[in-house]
C-alpha cells in the first residue's frame, strides 16, 4: 500500500536543537563564502537575498514530507493578504501564471459578467510577454496603447482614446515598481463599465497616497521570481478584494478545474452524487500550483520585505540625486505626486538629442561589468511574435518606441554596496567625459 501524507506525517523526521545549530553554522559559512565571492566592483542585474532563515525553512519542508501545495502555502496566502492587505490571495507557481489566472477567471464561460472571445483588453505597449499573452490565450484581443514619457506607465489619455464598444478591461502594469495613475484609470473604467486589473509583479510595496498597489483592481497579480523585491525562487500570487466573486473559480482553475479547496465544495458534491468529489471538475483549469517549499521560502522572505523595499528605495533616491548633473542627456523614470516608487530597477533613457546613442552607453557599461537590459520588453508591438498574435495598436506608440530604442535598465538590490553605487556613477561620468560632456 502506498503511504499517504497522513501516514508519512507519523514518521516525520525532526531536526534536534544541536543538529539545527550545526546546520545553521554550515549555512552561515556557505553564505559568507558566497558574499565574499560576489564582493566585486561590478553591478549585476539580480542577486540572491536568501539567508539562513530561508534555507532552514526549506530544509524543514523537505524533512516534513509534505512537498506539494499544503499548509505552508495556505499560511503564506494568509500572511500575504494581511500584509497587502487584501480580501484573499491565492499562490501560484509564477507571476506569469497569476496573470493567466486573472484573465482565465474573467473569461470562463460560466462567469455571467465575464469577457467573451473577441473582447478587447487595453494594456501598455511597454510591458512583459506574459502580461500580454494571457489576453490572447483566453480569446481576447490585446490593445496596445502608448505610455507616458515621464512615468513610462500607461497613459490615461491614450487609454481613453483607445476605448471602443468592444473594450471590456484595462490591465495596468506598474512598470519597474512605479505606480500607474490608478485614480485616472479607475475613472475611465467606471465611466465605460470596464474591469480594472493590476499587474504588480515588479511593484511590491509601491503605493498611492499610502495605499499599496494590488488593492485597487478587481484582481491583481504579483511575482516572487528571484530577481524581485522578495522571492520564493519561483512563485506568484493572485489577489482580490471580493472573495465571494473570484476565489472559488480561481481555486479550481489553479488545479485542473476540480473542486478541492473551494468553499462550495460540499454543494458541488451534493449536486453530482454520481461523481467522486475528489475528481469532480467544475471549471476549466491548469496545473499552476506552487509547492510548500516555495511557500516556506516566501514566508521567510515576507518577514524581510519591508526592509528590502526601504533599502531599494533609498538606493534609487541616492542614484537619482547623483545622476542629476547628467539630466540634459539622460532621463529617469518619474513618479506622480503622492505615488511611492518601489524601485525594482533603475531606468535610463538616452534623450533623443543626446550626442550618443543607447547602444554606445550600454556597451560602455557592460565593458565595465555593469549588467544592463532593455526596459522590460521594450515596445512589445515591435516583437516578432506579434505577427502571430491578433491585436490592435491604438495610435503611433511614439513614447513606447522611444523606450524601445533609447532605454535601458540597471539592476537594483537591497544590499547594493556604496562601492557599487560609486562605480556606476564613476562609469557614467567617465562616459560623459569621453564625449566631452560636462556635468551641469
Residues assigned a catalytic role:
228
CB burial class (10 A; 0-12, 13-18, 19+) of residue 434? exposed
97, 100, 102, 106 alpha-carbon torsion, rounded to 10°: -160
- Report d(CA 361, CA 357) in Å as an integer: 7
Give strand pairing partners of 408: 348
CB 305 within 8 A of CB 205: yes
CA gap 168, 154 in Å, rounded: 16
Closest CA to 41 of 365, 436, 422, 439: 422
Residues 6+ apart with CB under 8 A from 226: 46, 48, 233, 234
**Distance between CA atoms of 152 and 7, rounded to whole angstroms?**
54
Q: What are phi and psi of 269, to 5 degrees?
A: -65, -40
> H-helix or E-strand containing 197?
strand 195-199
Q: Which residues pair with 372 in a beta bridge?
A: 410
Give alpha helix (H) positions in 227-381.
243-254, 265-271, 292-323, 358-367
Q: Which residues contact 74 (CB under 8 A, 6 or more apart)?
A: none
Compute the Cα dihedral for 179, 181, 182, 188 and give only its sign: negative
- Sheet strands (E) in 116-164: 120-124, 141-145
Q: Where are the beta strands (DSSP E) in 68-128?
A: 88-92, 120-124
Amino acid at each position: 500500500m502506498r503511504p499517504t501524507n497522513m501516514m508519512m506525517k507519523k514518521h516525520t523526521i525532526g531536526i534536534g536543537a544541536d543538529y539545527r545549530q550545526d546546520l545553521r553554522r554550515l549555512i552561515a559559512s556557505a553564505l559568507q563564502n558566497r558574499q565574499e565571492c560576489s564582493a566585486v566592483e561590478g553591478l549585476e542585474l539580480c542577486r540572491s537575498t536568501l539567508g539562513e532563515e530561508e534555507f532552514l525553512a526549506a530544509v524543514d519542508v523537505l524533512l516534513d514530507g509534505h512537498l506539494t501545495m499544503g499548509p505552508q502555502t495556505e499560511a503564506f496566502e494568509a500572511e500575504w493578504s494581511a500584509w497587502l492587505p487584501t480580501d484573499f490571495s491565492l499562490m501560484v507557481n509564477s507571476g506569469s501564471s497569476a496573470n493567466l489566472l486573472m484573465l482565465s477567471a474573467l473569461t470562463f464561460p460560466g462567469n455571467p459578467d465575464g469577457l467573451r472571445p473577441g473582447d478587447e483588453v487595453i494594456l501598455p505597449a511597454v510591458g512583459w510577454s506574459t502580461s500580454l499573452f494571457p489576453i490572447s490565450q483566453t480569446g481576447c484581443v490585446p490593445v496596445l496603447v502608448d505610455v507616458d514619457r515621464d512615468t513610462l506607465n500607461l497613459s490615461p489619455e491614450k487609454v481613453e482614446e483607445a476605448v471602443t464598444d468592444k473594450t471590456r478591461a484595462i490591465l495596468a502594469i506598474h512598470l519597474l515598481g512605479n505606480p500607474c495613475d490608478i485614480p485616472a484609470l479607475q475613472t475611465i473604467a467606471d465611466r465605460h463599465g470596464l474591469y480594472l486589473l493590476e499587474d504588480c509583479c515588479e511593484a511590491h510595496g509601491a503605493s498611492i497616497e499610502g495605499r499599496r498597489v494590488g488593492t485597487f483592481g478587481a484582481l491583481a497579480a504579483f511575482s516572487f521570481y528571484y530577481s524581485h523585491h522578495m522571492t520564493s525562487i519561483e512563485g506568484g500570487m493572485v489577489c482580490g478584494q471580493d472573495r465571494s466573486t473570484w476565489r472559488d473559480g480561481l481555486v479550481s482553475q489553479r488545479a485542473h478545474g476540480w473542486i478541492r479547496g473551494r468553499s462550495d465544495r460540499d454543494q458541488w458534491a451534493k449536486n453530482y452524487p454520481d461523481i467522486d468529489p475528489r475528481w469532480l471538475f467544475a471549471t476549466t483549469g491548469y496545473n499552476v500550483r506552487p509547492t510548500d517549499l516555495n511557500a516556506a521560502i516566501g514566508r521567510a522572505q515576507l518577514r524581510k520585505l519591508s526592509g528590502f523595499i526601504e533599502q531599494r528605495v533609498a538606493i534609487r533616491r541616492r542614484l537619482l540625486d547623483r545622476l542629476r548633473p547628467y539630466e540634459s542627456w539622460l532621463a529617469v523614470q518619474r513618479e506622480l505626486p503622492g505615488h511611492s516608487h518601489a524601485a525594482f530597477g533603475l531606468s535610463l533613457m538616452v534623450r533623443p538629442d543626446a550626442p550618443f546613442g543607447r547602444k554606445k552607453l550600454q556597451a560602455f557599461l557592460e565593458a565595465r561589468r555593469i549588467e544592463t537590459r532593455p526596459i522590460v520588453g521594450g515596445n512589445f508591438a515591435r516583437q516578432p511574435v506579434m505577427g502571430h498574435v491578433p491585436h490592435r495598436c491604438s495610435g503611433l506608440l511614439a513614447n513606447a518606441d522611444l523606450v524601445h530604442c533609447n532605454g535601458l535598465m540597471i539592476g537594483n538590490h537591497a544590499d547594493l554596496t556604496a562601492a557599487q553605487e560609486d562605480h556606476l556613477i564613476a562609469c557614467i561620468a567617465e562616459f560623459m567625459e569621453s564625449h566631452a560632456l560636462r556635468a551641469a
